[in-house]
Amino acid sequence: MDIKNFNATMRYNAFGTTGWQVSKIALGTMTFGQQNTEQEGHRQLDFALERGINIIDTAEMYSIPPRAETQGSTERIIGTWNRARKRRQDFYLATKIAGPGGMADHIRPDMGYAGGQLRSAVNRSLERLQTDYIDLYQLHWPERQANFFGTRGVSALDGWEDNFLTVMQDLQALQREGLIREWGMSNETAWGLMRALHLAEVNDLPRPVSIQNPYSLLARGFEVGLAEVCLRENVAGFPYSPLAMGRLSGKYLRGEADPSSRLNQFTHYTRYNSENSLAATQAYAAIAEKHGLNMSQMALAFVTDRAFTASTIIGATNLEQLTVNIHSISLYLNEEVLKDLEEVQNRFPNPAV
Catalytic positions are 62
CA distance 175 to 173: 5
Q: Quick check: 327 and 297 in contact, CB under 8 A? A: yes
Query: How many residues would you count in the chain?
Result: 353
| Residue 194: how many other CB atoms lie within 10 Å | 16
Backbone angles phi, psi at 309, to 5 degrees: -90, 120
CA distance 82 to 29: 14
- For 283, how many CA atoms within 13 A lie in the half-sphere containing its CB? 20
CA distance 142 to 162: 11
The single-letter DSSP state of residue 102 is G
Q: Which amino acid is at 285?
A: A
